[in-house]
Amino acid sequence: MHTIIRQFAVSAAFALCAPYASAGVLNFDDIVGPNGFAAVPANYGGLDWSHSGLSVFTGEQAPFTPHSGQGRVTTDWIDGGPIVSTIHFLAPTVFNGAWFSGYSDSSVRFDLYAAGQLVANSDWHQLSNTPAFLDAGWDRAIDAVVVSTEFQASYVMDDLTFEDVAQVPEPGTLALFLAGLGLAGASRRRWFRIQKT
């Protein structure tokens, strides 16, 4: 009987925590434009891209290798285009990172902002034609991420990964839930012992 209770408790914990584990991944494959370029819609994927200066690139061209599918974003290729791109989250969000490829003489990094204040920087990531994941290196909520590079149009970014803070439980909430499960299991066990005597 104890095994059944234990299995039930574990199943309940997974069921209740499942919504917290969902992450969003933007792969840009659903944005297609003429000649392989298209503007990122202002509110694509629930994020604000209106001040990013980023466009979707779907053509095949080395060293801009996609991580998945064909869609990936890049800075404008016009002379004088941005080397810094800002993406705003419409709600506080935990930003995990993204996949990058590009020219090997360039690198990229993330600057993370919450309420207008810089809260973290990722490491600089050296680019190559093989996509590699750049981890944001920060597990708290932010409302904006800035992608920086030394040279305009030197990279493509793919599979941007993030989690909505509403989906991430507070550590105290999760601890309280697990403690409650433990107490319920202990009470149930004690009740069975009393019934046997």
Asked if 66 and 72 touch (Cβ cutoff 8 Å), the reply is yes
The model's pLDDT over 61-96, given as tens digits with 9 standing for 90+, comes to: 999 999 999 999 998 766 666 699 999 999 999 999
The model's pLDDT over 113-144, given as tens digits with 9 standing for 90+, comes to: 999 999 999 999 999 999 999 999 999 999 99
The CATH number covering residue 106 comes to 2.60.120
User: Does residue 136 fall inside a structural domain?
Assistant: yes
d(CA 110, CA 89) in angstroms, rounded, equals 14
User: Does residue 150 fall inside a structural domain?
Assistant: yes
Paired residues of 109 in beta bridges: 148
> 185: pLDDT confidence band, cut at 50, 70 and 90?
low
User: Does residue 178 fall inside a structural domain?
Assistant: no
Report pLDDT for 164: 81
Report pLDDT for 117: 97
Report pLDDT for 189: 65
Report pLDDT for 102: 96
User: Does residue 146 fall inside a structural domain?
Assistant: yes
> 149: pLDDT confidence band, cut at 50, 70 and 90?
very high
The model's pLDDT over 24-41, given as tens digits with 9 standing for 90+, comes to: 999 999 998 888 889 999
- The residue range of the domain holding 32 is 23-170
> 19: pLDDT confidence band, cut at 50, 70 and 90?
very low
What's the structural domain count of the chain?
1
User: Does residue 63 fall inside a structural domain?
Assistant: yes
Share the mean pLDDT of the chain.
82
Other CB atoms within 10 Å distance of the CB of residue 90: 12
User: Does residue 193 fall inside a structural domain?
Assistant: no
Report pLDDT for 141: 96
Paired residues of 89 in beta bridges: 47
User: Does residue 177 fall inside a structural domain?
Assistant: no
Report pLDDT for 36: 85
- Higher local confidence (pLDDT), 178 or 145: 145
